[in-house]
Structure 1
Amino acid sequence: MRFTTLFSLVLLAASQVLAASRPNIILIMADDMGYSDLGCYGSEIQTPNLDALAHKGVRFTQFYNTGRCCPTRASLLTGLYPHQAGIGHMMEDKGLDGYRGELSRDSVTIAEVLKPAGYRTYMVGKWHVTKKTQPAGEQDKSNWPLQRGFDRFYGTIHGAGSFYDPNTLTRDNTFISPFADAEYQPKDFYYTDAIADNAVRFVADHSREHQKEPFFMYMAMTAPHWPMHAKPEDIAKYKGKYDAGYDAIRAARVAKMKKLGLLSDSWQVAAQAGGAWSEVGNREFEIRCMEVFAAMIDCLDQGVGRVVAELKKQGQYENTLILFLQDNGGCAEPMGRNGPFTPRADKPSLPAMAAADLQPDMIPKQTRDGYPIRQGYGVLPGPADTYHGYGEAWANVSNTPFREYKHWVHEGGVSTPLVAHWPQGIPAPRQDHLESQPAHLIDLMATCVDVAGATYPSEYQGHKITPLQGVSLKPAMAGESVNRQGPIFFEHEGNRAVRDGRWKLVAKGPRGEWELYDMEADRTEQNDLSSSQPERVKTLSEQWLVWAKKSQVIPWIWGLPHGDPLPAKKAGKRKKKENE
């Protein structure tokens, strides 16, 4: 009996030592930022807090997302490709298992995996992996954060909305109005600040209430996704910064990226797209769009700084792994930019909303005090009564030096910075280093499982779980190979790609022809080698098709017979024959 008791005490002590040595993990994801939008990746935008994490950590230069918001979130949370997690497109049920618009029960979230390993789990920000977002009446919340492994949640269930009055704002399982929230009442509500402030609160509460346990926190920012909303004091910092226009800002970023070692002199920078600065008719509007975009990123960085400061205050900084990334490339969507200019009314023309009223719409019809929401070219963004995107040309600047944007799987759509910071876990000689091994969202679950000493399950709550798809990036943080055994794959809206070592095969649209690029010699995808290397195209495209059929990508929803992708010329012939 004494031996058994002694043995139990030894096991308990050992488990406590293990818990103390395992790191906290914070995943921070920005929304609709381009590859070059951080200072440490080439930008002129002030991001001192993220830059500091980068300089004392490792910057991955070839990390990939899925090219779109909710598929990226599904992949990040589960370690699976988005179709395997049920979200191959957006939040609609398309009648196929890869496109249900709900996080699959054949998948587990990082929170669900880390909780049995002794982690407390927190989330702040944008969820966007369920269709169940309506505030009216009771509804199925089985795919809300608390039902998918998180202990606490503050954020939005839906994917976008006003930064001054977000729809589907939720604490734990209850919708709340930011103007009737007894637990958080800042002088002026701004969603980016609210996400950061509640993250700080979770860190502080954890240190007080669960000090002996490690924690995992998923911090999903909505900045700088449209609408272009920013606080006046943040916008003021960028007054005049963008007066020189698209080409000048892009050229400055190229020069800085080369200096940082992010851009080879041998790579040809993709051409400026979205219009010429010399032809812009309303420069005040275009300049203001980018000033606001920069201010949104600046505010995001300030929030990260407050979280880091709280970690230091609580003695948690040294053994916290912080990973920062983005959900897709810069967004060229013309949100709010079309249509006529709408002047602001002299006084409110609509009834004011009560403090407890929930904002029902992604694009509000009015502000809380009764001003109609204004859109249209020339309406200067920033205030609560505006709702705009920053346009294709500025998105092209964000994605410097790459082609394309959010939605596509060329480099401009799927390339993201990944900053890894972990003072106790990343060797000092590796700090401020660049890591060029290709990596993907599917690797984040594997990384968390690795550093947490957790076990990825084969079954969970009666469901057989799809095997983990990625590899741990912990070796890469130490300068070692991640030992990836196969290619990385992509599909979104029929855009598709496969990355295998130095080679990338990519196509635009379900009927686009394959393009082949040597990513060591031509990361910017300017020299298509498909015609000179048909055998490599054949091998990679066949690998893509095998993956697509195995991973619930096919059958797909893009209208091709049996889901098999056809080259553009053959597709055209078949369509002509069918029409006859």
Structure 2
Amino acid sequence: MRSIRCDKIFFLVLMCLVAGITFSQSNKAISKKPNVIVILTDDMGFSDIGCFGSEIKTPNIDKLAANGISFTHFYNTARCSPSRASLMTGLYPHQAGMGFLSNYNFDEEGYIDDLSKKAVTMAEVFKQAGYATYMSGKWHMNKEKSIPNDRSNWPLQRGFDRFFGTLIGSGSFYDPGTLMSDNTFIAPGKDFYLTNAITDNAVRFIDENPKNKPFFFYIAYTAAHWPLQAPESEVQKYKGVYDKGWDETRKLRFEKLKKLGIISNKAVLTERGVDIPEWKNEPLKDWQVRRMEVYAAMVDIMDQGIGKIISTLEKKGELENTVIFYMHDNGGCAETLNSNENEIPITDEQKKGKPFAKDSIFLGKIPTYTRDGEFIRSGKGVMPGPANTWTAYGEEWANMSNTPFRLYKHFVHEGGIATPLIIHWPEGIKAKGKLRSQPGHLIDIMATCVEIAGLQYPSNFNGNSIHPLEGKSLVPAFTNKPINREFIFWEHEGNRALRMGNWKLVSKTQKQRKFTPADENAWELYDMEEDPSESNNLAFKYPDKVKTMAALWEKEAQRTMAKPWPWDSSK
């Protein structure tokens, strides 16, 4: 009898233990708390990696997807600083004080464009849980006008133990402004290339991390943001690849996306932008081809770096229990750069190898000379790649990067906000190479990490009341369960959107950063299940739905501090 009773007790205890191991507690069932690596790239389109349709060689990112899960309806905020703020805080960007860009600072709380003290960063949350915290790459979340005097929102002051990278939004890959090691400005060394340096420092920090101490790592590559710069040996790998032009390359990506199941057969390939000619009519084909060759090389170099990081984790025996997130900060960038008309000479101090703590790049201008005194060439026809060139790849190739969508960075149509999300975690995600169609947003990464690492998201931090977490954990989607959410909200420069289930309400302003009465009711409505390319506007067919969703958008705009806008919105 005693034996039977003991068996029953053992069985009941065992069943309770099994029932109690929910995913939110699964980190207790694995060997130790997981490491977490968040990789964010800069100004890359939806279809710019191989596993999302590209011809660019990204075998290491593709390997993460093949051994993990990929989200096909994941979103950013359409712009650099806002996306970084949302990712790091789990809040909508305006709640984090970053409604526009860190180099513009307004009085409205949602647009101070200096990371809010009412927001807590992922590094701060991980650090208080005993994690080591590292960052390598682009920060772009502190008030740039105060550089170098105010350090309160630099990475080390917002939770990171170690930092290598730049504070500002863009700059030369060979000689970037505000290059830093921890809190110290530094100058680049010989044969410096920023993408490689971001990788090398990431590898070094991982190598130096104490054994048995979990770490959180934010790796924010600047590739493939302009200026288009890459070593010639890497550019030559893509010689001839783009001779066929954007029309044919776009069609090939579209078919590959369908074959991979990333987009449904219901998707259509949107029309070229009105300012983009047919490839056969493009007069500067050699220049256009060269632009895309350099862009592809920049992405390729970044992927090589991700491969080195993966190899380092494997050598340390850490890959199995490291959660790796990969995503982009906005869609392809259609911004153009004009010819260099600045007169900003290099200083004697800079010629002597001093760091650029605050320079012409910080001001958003193209510098006139390299540190070696070479004139920096920019504008139409300038063949990119070397350090003395400063060009972008333009709307033509941005349209191709965003296949099959329309519009670009800045806008909240799919071309501006759609990003791949890949999550790789062998010890915690058993699905391999599977797709997930549940809609998600950058705000969800913090919530996901809180759950998988057993973190405590604070209501107060450093004497400040903290905004409640906005994101939803993506953990249910690991096993292909739905994510319980009502909607996702967007606002950038007066461009507006709201997604509820399969319905998306969206609009764009007629003029940049101007919101007029004509824009107020210029809503478009799309069924994202039937029309993922936003080609068939249903606003006139379903006016009541437009009205209901528009009212909710307005309510959320006020709640999240997206409104009032800091610019004139009456004319």
TM-score w.r.t. length of structure 1: 0.88
Correspondence for 1:73:
84
Q: Which residue matches 1:356?
A: 354
* Counterpart AA for 1:155: G
CA distance in 2, matches of 1:357, 1:217: 25
Which AA in structure 2 matches 1:487? F
2:282 paired residue number: 280
Paired residues of 2:30 and 2:427 also in contact (CA < 8 A): no
Matching residue of 1:182: none
Q: CA 1:446–1:350 in structure 2 vs 1: closer, same or farther (change >3 Å)?
A: closer
Letter in 1 for 2:416: G
CA distance in 2, matches of 1:467, 1:231: 45
**Contact 2:70/2:435 (CA < 8 Å) preserved in 1?**
yes
**Structure 2 segments unaligned to the other structure (5+ residues):** 1-24, 510-514
Gap runs ≥5 in structure 1: 1-13, 180-186, 341-347, 562-574, 576-580
Distance 1:349 1:492 in 2: 35
What residue identity is the alignment partner of 1:332? A
Counterpart for residue 171 of structure 2: 161
Partner of 1:441: 442
Please list the CA deviations of residues 372-428 of structure 1 after superposition, one character each: whole Å capped at 9, or x if unmatched. 11112111000000000001010000000001000000000000000100000101x
Which of these residues, 110, 126, 129, is aligned with residue 117 of structure 1?
Answer: 129
Instruction: Report sequence identity in percent.
Output: 52
Instruction: Tell me which residue corresponds to 2:332.
Output: 330
CA distance in 2, matches of 1:62, 1:235: 31
Change (3 A) 1:145 1:122: same
Contact 1:101 1:130 in 2 (8 A): yes
Deviation at 1:473, TM superposition (A): 0.8
Matched-pair contact (CA < 8 Å) for 1:20–1:212: no
Matches within 5 A, 1:391-410: 391-410=394-413
CA distance in 1, matches of 2:340, 2:562: 37
Distance in 1 separating the partners of 2:355 and 2:56: 36
Q: Call closer, same or farther: CA 1:133–1:121 in 2, change over 3 Å.
A: farther
Give 2:553's aligned residue: 544
Q: The residue matched to 1:202 in structure 2 has which SS?
A: helix
Question: 1:80 aligns to what SS in structure 2?
Answer: coil
Task: State yes or no: 1:297 paired with 2:299.
Answer: yes
- Corresponding residue of 1:202: 205
**Alpha-carbon RMSD:** 1.9
**How far off is 1:213 after superposition?**
1.5
Q: Which residue identity is paired with 1:418?
A: L
Q: Is the contact between residue 78 and residue 329 of structure 2 (CA under 8 Å) also seen in structure 1?
A: yes
Amino acid in structure 2 at the alignment position of 1:85? A
**In 1: Cα distance, 2:404 partner to 2:28 partner:** 47
Q: Distance in 2 between matches of 1:474 and 1:188?
A: 42
Q: What aligned pairs does 1:70-469 form with structure 2 within 5 A after superposition? A: 70-91=81-102, 92-132=104-144, 139-179=149-189, 188-206=191-209, 210-273=210-273, 274-336=276-338, 353-358=351-356, 360-362=359-361, 363-427=366-430, 430-469=431-470
Give per-residue Cα distances to partners, 1:70-112, cap 9 Å, x unaligned.
0000100000000000010112221100000100000000011
What is the Cα deviation at residue 20 of structure 1? 4.8
Deviation at 1:547, TM superposition (A): 0.4
Distance (Å, rounded) in 2 between the aligned partners of 1:215 and 1:20: 15
Cα distance in 1 between the residues matched to 2:126 and 2:159: 9
Q: CA deviation at 1:557?
A: 2.3
3-state DSSP of counterpart to 2:525: strand
Cα distance change on mapping 1:204 and 1:518 into 2, 3 Å: same
Cα distance in 2, alignment partners of residues 65 and 202 from structure 1: 27
**SS of equivalent to 1:237:** helix
Corresponding residue number in structure 1 for 2:20: none
1:21 to partner: Cα distance: 2.0
Structure 1 residues 133, 316: CA separation in 2 closer, same or farther (over 3 Å shift)? farther
Q: Name the aligned partner's letter for residue 473 of structure 2.
A: S
Listed one character per residue, the Cα deviations across residues 262-285 of structure 1 (whole Å, up to 9, x for unaligned) are 122222211122222122111111
| AA matched with 2:50 | G
2:530 to 501, 507, 521: 521
Name the structure 1 match of 2:44: 33
Give the secondary structure class of the aligned counterpart of 2:165.
strand
Question: What amino acid is aligned across from residue 110 of structure 1 in structure 2?
Answer: M
User: Take 2:447 and 2:110, find their aligned partners in 1: how far apart are those partners?
Assistant: 22
User: Judging changes above 3 Å, is the alpha-carbon distance between structure 1 residues 423 and 19 closer, same or farther for their aligned structure 2 residues?
Assistant: closer
- Cα distance in 2 for partners of 1:132, 1:358 equals 13
SS at match of 1:81: coil
8 A Cα contact 1:20 1:214, kept in partner: no
In 1, the alpha carbon distance for the partners of 2:288 and 2:279 equals 9
Corresponding letter in the other structure for 2:122: I
Moved segments of 4+, more than 3 Å: 16-20, 132-136, 348-352
Secondary structure in 1 matching 2:238? coil
Contact 2:269 2:404 in 1 (8 A): yes
What is the deviation of 1:134?
Answer: 6.2
* Distance in 2 of aligned mates of 1:327 and 1:357: 27
**Distance in 2 separating the partners of 1:89 and 1:149:** 23
TM-superposed deviation, 1:365: 2.3
Query: 1:10 is matched with which residue?
Result: none
